[in-house]
A and B are shown apart, each in its own frame.
Chain A
Amino acid sequence: MAACKEKDAKLEAIASSIRVVPNFPKPGIMFQDITTLLLNPKAFRNVVELFVDRYIDKGISVVAGVEARGFIFGAPIALAIGAKFIPLRKPRKLPGEVISEKYDLEYGTDCLEMHIGAVQPEDRALVVDDLIATGGTLCAAINLLERAGVEVVECACVIKLPEPKGRERLKGKLLHILVESH
């Protein structure tokens, strides 16, 4: 019971350290800004520890971080659980041979890339990003890993936007979120 209360207190501190910036990147959007969380070393450490506690015994060999904010959370998690860290990047950033996955934006499409040879079919992967909105980026990430024969164990995000309500899975993969934005 005490452990639950302690965890709730941590989650509350994490939630309150996230800043909402209205009308960014365009009018009507309430942007969930995690940079203020990163300015609070205790809250940042708690985010990483909460994820590490969940994944340390799950046999995860790969943490895939979505550029760029997924790098900030994914790399420390990978280090703590002894997994490889794989950056999933926008086009033409990764220097070696890549596979690409297109995904839809509100207007138009974008692309996510992964290095060929970064993962092996026996790898078990965690996908990390700061936030899940429509899920388009995370879906592309899952697709890249599955095309390489990897099992995606879970997707982990610090924040979830309220819509769609009650989403627990993405492409059949469990979503683990720390806080839900208002």
Chain B
Amino acid sequence: MASQDDSDPRLARIASSIRVIPDFPKPGIMFQDITTLLLKPKVFRDTIDMFVERYKDKEISVVAGVEARGFIFGPPIALAIGAKFVPMRKPNKLPGKVISEEYSLEYGTDRMEMHVGAVEPGERALIIDDLIATGGTLCAAMKLLENVGAEVYECACVIELPELNGRKRLGDRPLFVLVEAV
């Protein structure tokens, strides 16, 4: 696990709190497990603080968190910067009127949904998930927000898997991550 910026001591602790589980959910995949980070209150606090420090004066009015691990990191950030929290969910979970965006998986497709009316045109949004792999999920979230006229300021994740080229899939949209899985 490599840190983006070796000079911040918090990053080393964040990186070393993440547990790697081999062969989950299937053989060959090294799963980056953030639940062990959540068991260390100071490290969880540091993780949130690093995002809040970056975004607090950027006039962000929406934090969109991708189900389900984005629901752990997104709300504390939203609360700290005074933004709305908007859950981006799997199909049929959100009860009101939704808009949806299909995205491709390794095999097949999935769909992400957002409530109609949650975000107004012109709002500045941050998208949060625990990890970026291929970038498919984040792309879908970006499209949903851009389709309602929001400006996606940045995508932010705790972990990046650089070999999967997610950054490229996001195109010119900014991506900020705390640690890279090597």
Contact = CB atoms under 8 A, between A and B. Distances in A.
Interface string A73-89: 10110110011111101
Interface in B41-84: 41, 44-45, 48, 65, 67-68, 71-73, 75-76, 78-79, 82-84
18 contacts: A31-B95, A35-B96, A44-B79, A44-B85, A65-B72, A68-B67, A71-B68, A71-B75, A72-B65, A75-B73, A78-B38, A79-B41, A79-B76, A84-B38, A86-B35, A86-B38, A87-B68, A92-B25
Contacts of A75: 38, 71-73, 75-76
A41 B39 CA distance: 26
Interface residues of A, number: 39
Interface of A: 19, 21, 24-25, 31, 33, 35, 38-41, 44-45, 48, 65, 67-69, 71-73, 75-76, 78-79, 82-87, 89, 92-96, 115, 118
Contacts of A96: 19, 21, 33, 35
Contact of B83 (A19, A41, A48, A118): A41
Interface of B: 19, 21, 24-25, 31, 33, 35, 38-41, 44-45, 48, 65, 67-68, 71-73, 75-76, 78-79, 82-87, 89, 92-96, 115, 118
